[in-house]
Structure 1
């Protein structure tokens, strides 16, 4: 009977240990240690952390333990029973919660407040720096309108058969007014003066005007036709209703394709202001020209009542609204996609880095994989534009799509490599800064691109060296037959960015590997220290 009772007590003790382990996973070692003590073994106690590495030793010890427990006498039962009762009375340590505003939490609260303040100061500083660049590109634009260069050629400059050049003189007077000077930088030539410039390029007057506008020497040109006043008087005398006074008096030339944003927002509105001033003067002008003419016929009255407005000639119109996408937000998306490429491939690059690959080969792999991604993603940009039936042929014919793809590839390589390099420097230091780098990189590229340089502060001249500005200028030559004289500079700057960043890229990869390795080593040391402290504490409790 004593043996059966002892056996029942021992079995109950084992079952109780098992229940304790299942109910409280945070203290799995105590039951195993108690069993080890009951076995009177002189071996080292088996902890849960050692079990994975010493499974065979644990199995042997468990067999010995079971044999000893099953053969225990009645004297060992009370001792085991006391330990079982003591262990069963120990409830698992439940977490203790305290108020955020309690005195005990004051040290932690101070750290939280300090961290909160520092982070907000950092974010505020970055916002002020980044957003000030973009806001600044629009600052004082109205005051800078006077910097827009306009060409004015006055062909109506001579008195013919007693008819004075009223239209030509009126245009000259209007452009001398302060309101007109605040609307642009007007370069005024008499036709006799401008003819010498035209002869230097073997051009007619009109041909030279169009050449200078096309070569982007001027945003627009106003041409007062030769002998416009005399021709109007002759048509008025005859009552010639077929005479179009507007077409034969003042014509304004411009090219919207040069910069459809600036042209619509700033250039044509300034021409409209001059035209409004012209309309104000028109009654006086027509009165001077008709003072010696008797207006009796209906035809004469009809011609006299006809308003003489500017004939607006858009040499390169912006007709496809789909182009607003690749020429505006498309560049922003290009930078963002290059950033996503860096994030999307992070896990793949990590796996390759952990593999037994030669370090030099890993650097080459990183660079080639990025360039190949940019090559493929830039193709997608072109295909999306092509899918919406945008015409790529105005300038380069059927090769237009390939030219666009080439520009997009160089652009994405430039902005993408810059993002990767900055990411590899930022992540080991403070990963959240990478998001602000993206904002700063977008703004610093877009600010001097979407606002005409002539309207911005001199600070934004840095944009001439930025990838997006040069890409924007190059892409416009694909969709519009605009001046290509700057195309060599645009491609040269894009290639220079790619070459420079390609040289920096290997050093950034090596720095990133070392920095992340150091962080991992520090983290491992801290984890090992915590584990050792936990094991030491557990041993002390036992």
Structure 2
């Protein structure tokens, strides 16, 4: 803060003046440290001081704080609900999570279990099930797993081939090695969305299969009793055949077994945006406040500086951001070998450019005073679609497929967990955002330059007239 050096008091003592009005060299006039030459008080006023200049400053301060508080409240009411809404009443969208039932048995067990599962479809609070012919899976369980990995469906319940025949043979021979949980196999991939798997898919599938198998087991034991089967002897030899003749196993073919990956595919994305935002703020301060380069450079040079320098900086920042995850042993080599780390680094670079250049464009108009409000919107809109998959969100959140965060998340799942490979699409979305930002930076900077030139010409006219 530039503070003028205070002047001495205008009323000098008579002993400090000579007869000719000259100041005596032996007289020391004490300067007041509490006011400037304009009479503005420094370091002495209370907040509610009645001094006119302090009162004016206080009025301006209060107005600024009131306006910005109102804007913050407006953001609370308009921006934050985007995230709250993504987590509100997710149970009413569970019907969008699709499941298939495949009957390889084509016997009593397969028919009863399949019909029981499919009959649970309908309510919005449970998964929707479709009975798919086993002829669609000529290679058996290998084809079932392929459908899951291609993300055509969230879960597949497969009734084993010959399940009815194997069960009847076990009853006849009182087979003690009979494994009831081999009758039904549930195939799913947790790494597709660990939150959806843990909070929706596994609980719903478990609840449905517990009910369906319990109903079948009760009916089956009653049939055995009515057929004259000695249940007491059977229970003493092979108790499982009486207590639980049919059961299931859940085969999680892509477990989310790297907990630190949560920092890479969700929370860390917020940090990636914050890092890009810091580059934007430094770039703004350096070219405008510190050097005034914005007014010195021709338009094309200024535009190149605003675009190329941040992208160049993002390249190195994203490298160290990726190295941080590597240092904490995120296994980037699972799917693509050593190239996995480079792919992740490039995705982080592209994402940082997509996120940061958007802020770089907006700050042209909003300046540092208001750009943080856009940052809040940018963070919330991206983060809202990353905790749960779009299928569990209201329809308005389908923009997830075009958001930078979501596509980074999908790329990370492919690299680390070998889920469905859509890297071309994931990179394409980032490039699309970069392209939009390049256009908006150009247009907004041209408008800003036009205003600056007009203002410069106006000031020159005033100087000439003076």
Q: TM-score if structure 1 supplies the norm length?
A: 0.71
Q: Kindly name which structure, 1 or 2, has the bigger radius of gyration based on alpha carbons.
A: 1
Name the count of aligned residue pairs.
441
Aligned pair partner of 1:387 in 327, 341, 350: 327
The equivalent of 2:151 in structure 1 is 216
The equivalent of 1:150 in structure 2 is 99
Alignment of 1:65-464 (within 5 A): 100=48, 118-158=67-107, 165-166=108-109, 168-177=111-120, 182-189=125-132, 193-195=133-135, 197-198=136-137, 203-247=138-182, 249-288=183-222, 290-291=224-225, 292=227, 293-295=229-231, 296=233, 298-306=236-244, 308-350=246-288, 351=291, 353=293, 357-427=297-367, 431-464=368-401
> Is the 1:166–1:285 Cα contact (8 Å) retained in structure 2?
no
Taking the aligned partners of 1:93 and 1:473, their CA distance within structure 2 comes to 60
> Is the 2:299–2:449 Cα contact (8 Å) retained in structure 1?
no
SS of the counterpart of 2:185? strand
> Is the 1:246–1:311 Cα contact (8 Å) retained in structure 2?
yes
* CA shift for structure 1 position 463: 1.9
Taking the aligned partners of 2:36 and 2:398, their CA distance within structure 1 comes to 67
* CA shift for structure 1 position 497: 1.5
RMSD of aligned alpha carbons: 3.8
Aligned pair partner of 1:499 in 435, 438, 442: 435
SS of the counterpart of 1:497? helix
SS of the counterpart of 1:128? helix
* CA shift for structure 1 position 500: 2.5
The equivalent of 2:4 in structure 1 is none
For 1:507-536, what per-residue CA distance to the aligned partner results, in whole angstroms no more than 9, with x for missing partners? 3344445657888999999xx9xxxxxxxx
CA 1:468–1:461 in structure 2 vs 1: closer, same or farther (change >3 Å)?
Answer: same
The equivalent of 2:29 in structure 1 is 20
* CA shift for structure 1 position 318: 1.1
The equivalent of 1:38 in structure 2 is none
Aligned pair partner of 1:468 in 397, 402, 405: 405
SS of the counterpart of 1:444? helix
CA 1:524–1:303 in structure 2 vs 1: closer, same or farther (change >3 Å)?
Answer: farther
CA 1:17–1:143 in structure 2 vs 1: closer, same or farther (change >3 Å)?
Answer: farther
Q: TM-score if structure 2 supplies the norm length?
A: 0.82
SS of the counterpart of 2:333? coil
Taking the aligned partners of 2:186 and 2:217, their CA distance within structure 1 comes to 21
> Is the 1:180–1:274 Cα contact (8 Å) retained in structure 2?
no
Unaligned 5+ segments in structure 2 are 1-14
The equivalent of 1:490 in structure 2 is 426
SS of the counterpart of 1:253? strand
SS of the counterpart of 2:186? strand
CA 1:444–1:254 in structure 2 vs 1: closer, same or farther (change >3 Å)?
Answer: same
* CA shift for structure 1 position 234: 1.1
Taking the aligned partners of 1:311 and 1:491, their CA distance within structure 2 comes to 37
* CA shift for structure 1 position 169: 0.9
> Is the 1:151–1:220 Cα contact (8 Å) retained in structure 2?
yes
CA 1:208–1:522 in structure 2 vs 1: closer, same or farther (change >3 Å)?
Answer: same
Taking the aligned partners of 1:93 and 1:299, their CA distance within structure 2 comes to 101
